[in-house]
C-alpha cells in the first residue's frame, strides 16, 4: 500500500516535470514565438515594451480599436522582466519558460480542483482521477489549437481555472488568504481581466459563479461564499482601477471606436459576420 501511495504522489511530480519540459521542444533553438494579435514582442524586450507601449494610450496596435489603453500590461511585463533576469536575459528562454508556466499551471489548476472536489468523498484513486482530468484539459485540442494565435486570452487557460480553485479552497477552509492569492494572481495577469479578454473572462466566470453558488448551497457555506465574493469584488475593483478606469472612459465616449464596437448595431452584429466571412474560405469539413 505504501508503494502504491508513493507511486501516486510521484506520478504528479513526474508528469509536472514532463509538462514543464515539453515547451523546450516546441521552437527551433533561439527562435521566438512571435506574431498574432498580441505580437508577443514583449518577450524580446519587456522593459522597452513597458517603457514605450504599456505606459501610453492610445495604442494603435490593438485590433479592438485605436483608443484602447495598455496599462493592464504593466504587472505582466514586470513579471516577464523578473523571469528574464533569472534566465540570463535571454528572450528565447523567457518565451519558453512562460509557455512552460502556462502548460504546467493549466494542468495543476485542474488537478488541484478535481482533487479538492473529490477528496473525502469516498472516491477511490482520487489522485489518479485528478491527474487524468488535468491531462485531458491541458492536452485538449481546443486548448492546443489556440497556442499559435498569440492572443492575450491564451493566459486564461491557466489563470481562470486557478482562480476557480482558489475560490473553491476559500469556500472549504474559510481562509481569506486564498482570496489574497486570487487577487494577486488577477493583478499579475491584469490583461486577462481587461477589455481585451472580456468574452473569455465573462464566459468562464458566469458558469463558475453558478457552480460555486450551487456547491456552497449544498455544503451549507453559501453565506461564507457570498461574503468572500463581496470582499473579493470590492478589492478587485480597487486593485484594478489603474486600468479599468482608463478602459471604461473611452467606451463611454460616443466618438470612440470601442463605443461603436460595443453599442452600435453594426459593431454588435457586423463585426462577427465580417470575421466569419473572412475565414470562410479556409473552412473544410473533415
pLDDT digits (tens, 9 = 90+) for 87-127: 888 999 998 999 899 999 999 999 999 999 987 766 668 88
The per-residue pLDDT for 4 is 65
Asked whether 77 and 55 are in contact (CB, 8 A), the reply is no
pTM of the model: 0.86
Distance of CA 166 to the CA centre of its chain: 14
Please identify every stretch of the chain with a pLDDT value under 70, giving residue numbers as ranges. 1-5, 7-8, 35-38, 57-68, 121-124, 144-150, 255-286
The per-residue pLDDT for 149 is 61
The per-residue pLDDT for 264 is 67
The per-residue pLDDT for 16 is 93
The per-residue pLDDT for 18 is 94
Asked whether 16 and 108 are in contact (CB, 8 A), the reply is yes
The per-residue pLDDT for 123 is 62
The per-residue pLDDT for 62 is 46
- SS3 for 179-207 is HHHHHHHHHHCHHHHCHHHHHHHHHHHHH
Residue 244 and residue 250: Cα distance in Å, rounded? 11
C-alpha closest to that of 74 among 56, 55, 57: 55
Distance of CA 260 to the CA centre of its chain: 27
| H-helix segments, 119-197 | 126-138, 141-145, 156-173, 177-188
Amino acid at each position: 500500500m505504501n508503494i502504491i501511495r508513493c507511486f501516486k504522489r510521484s506520478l504528479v511530480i513526474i508528469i509536472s516535470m514532463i509538462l514543464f519540459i515539453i515547451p523546450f521542444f516546441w521552437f527551433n533553438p533561439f527562435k521566438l514565438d512571435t506574431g498574432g494579435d498580441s505580437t508577443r514582442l514583449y518577450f524580446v524586450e519587456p522593459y522597452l515594451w513597458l517603457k514605450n507601449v504599456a505606459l501610453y494610450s492610445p495604442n494603435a496596435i490593438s485590433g479592438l480599436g485605436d483608443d484602447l489603453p495598455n496599462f493592464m500590461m504593466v504587472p505582466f511585463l514586470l513579471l516577464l522582466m523578473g523571469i528574464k533576469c533569472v534566465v540570463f536575459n535571454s528572450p528565447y528562454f523567457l518565451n519558453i519558460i512562460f509557455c512552460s508556466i502556462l502548460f504546467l499551471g493549466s494542468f495543476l489548476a485542474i488537478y488541484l480542483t478535481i482533487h479538492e472536489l473529490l477528496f473525502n468523498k469516498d472516491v477511490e484513486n482520487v489522485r489518479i482521477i485528478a491527474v487524468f482530468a488535468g491531462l485531458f484539459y491541458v492536452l485538449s485540442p481546443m486548448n492546443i489549437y489556440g497556442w499559435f494565435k498569440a492572443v492575450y486570452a491564451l493566459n486564461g487557460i491557466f489563470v481562470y481555472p486557478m482562480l476557480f480553485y482558489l475560490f473553491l479552497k476559500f469556500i472549504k477552509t474559510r481562509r481569506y488568504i486564498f482570496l489574497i492569492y486570487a487577487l494577486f494572481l488577477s493583478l499579475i495577469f491584469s490583461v486577462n481581466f481587461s477589455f481585451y479578454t472580456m468574452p473569455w473572462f465573462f464566459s468562464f466566470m458566469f458558469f463558475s459563479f453558478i457552480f460555486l453558488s450551487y456547491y456552497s448551497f449544498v455544503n451549507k457555506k453559501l453565506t461564507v461564499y457570498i461574503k468572500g465574493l463581496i470582499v473579493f469584488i470590492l478589492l478587485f475593483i480597487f486593485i484594478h482601477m489603474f486600468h479599468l478606469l482608463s478602459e471604461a472612459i473611452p467606451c463611454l465616449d460616443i466618438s470612440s471606436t470601442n463605443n461603436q464596437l460595443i453599442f452600435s448595431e453594426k459593431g454588435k452584429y457586423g463585426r462577427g459576420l465580417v470575421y466569419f466571412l473572412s475565414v470562410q474560405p479556409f473552412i473544410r469539413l473533415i
